[in-house]
Amino acid sequence: MLASLNWQPIWLTLELAALTTLLLLLIGTPLAWWLSRTRWRIKAVIEALVALPLVLPPTVLGFYLLLLLGPHGPVGQLTQALGLGLLPFSFAGLVVASTLYSMPFVVQPIQNAFTAMGPRPMEVAYSLRASPLDAFFTVALPLARPGLITAAVLGFAHTLGEFGVVLMIGGNIPGQTKVVSVAIYDYVESLDYASAHLISALMLLFSFVVLWLLYRLNRQLNPDNERHPS
């Protein structure tokens, strides 16, 4: 039964989720740090922008992204001018869309972890001759680890499950943009319930195992449940 399964959407989905999570951690961590430390008024604006995907229907986000990235949109014209071609209906376009769409799920847990830490650990590090960058990597990041793990799990899981944005910006091109959620939809549309069942069950199992492993890892790394500096 597994032999007859089309694995392509599954690999594509995992690739997309992994790449998106990685990108989000790279972008989201500095952004979360800045949001947790800044006193600028613009902070509220940025926070609201980051949180938008939480409340917007995915189709709205997808629609605007399509306009922005499309041949007549400003970003689309830029990518064309740079020789990168157009992003919509490509894997790269999916990565960009997923990154924006899953942003709040990554930024918010990290920001909360940084905020809960307070200013003291960094001050202690400075008094021990660590420069701000040094202190960020050796104190702030280790202390925020539970938040970072939560962020990675949520970002990954959320990207696995996205559908609306994918459909708007990626379409349904096998091997390029046809991810699991779209494939399942296809199977159901064509009344191939057996395949839909199989791929859905696999997704369910996989998601559960990943989440369970990560939470268990987090628990093992924090035997004392010490999250704040004493």
* Min CB(39)–other proteins separation in Å: 13
Q: Which is nearer to other proteins, 30 or 132 (CB)?
A: 132
Length, in residues, of the chain: 230
Q: Which of positions 102-121 make contact with other proteins (CB under 8 A)?
A: 120-121
Piece in contact with other proteins (CB under 8 A), picked from 57-65, 88-96, 124-132, 171-179: 124-132
Count the residues of the shown chain that bind other proteins, applying the rule CB under 8 A.
25
Is 220 a binding residue for other proteins by CB under 8 A? The answer is no
Among 66, 139, 179, 203, binds other proteins (CB under 8 A): 139
Q: Is 213 left (phi over 0), alpha (psi -120 to 50) or beta?
A: alpha
- Say if residues 153 and 211 touch (Cβ distance below 8 Å): yes
Neighbours of 174 (CB within 10 A): 13
Q: Rule CB under 8 A: is residue 49 a binding residue for other proteins?
A: no
Q: CA 76, 152, 167, 170 torsion: positive or negative?
A: positive
Quickly count: other Cβ atoms within 10 Å of residue 25's Cβ. 17
38 scored as a contact of other proteins (CB under 8 A): no
Name the segment binding other proteins (CB under 8 A); options: 1-9, 58-66, 75-83, 137-145. 137-145
Asked if 226 interacts with other proteins (CB under 8 A), we say yes
Backbone angles phi, psi at 6, to 5 degrees: -85, 105
CA nearest 119: which of 140, 147, 142?
140
Stretch that binds other proteins, among 17-25, 80-88, 149-157, 222-230 (CB under 8 A): 222-230
Query: Structure tokens of 218?
Result: 């987090």
Contacts of 148 (CB under 8 A, 6+ apart): 25, 29, 109, 110, 113, 141
Binding of other proteins by 142 (CB under 8 A): yes
C-beta of residue 136 within 8 angstroms of C-beta of residue 33: yes
Nearer to other proteins, 74 or 142 (CB): 142
Smallest gap from Cβ 216 to other proteins, in A, equals: 19
Provide the binding-site residues for other proteins, judged by CB under 8 A: 120-121, 123-132, 134-135, 138-139, 142-143, 145, 224, 226-230
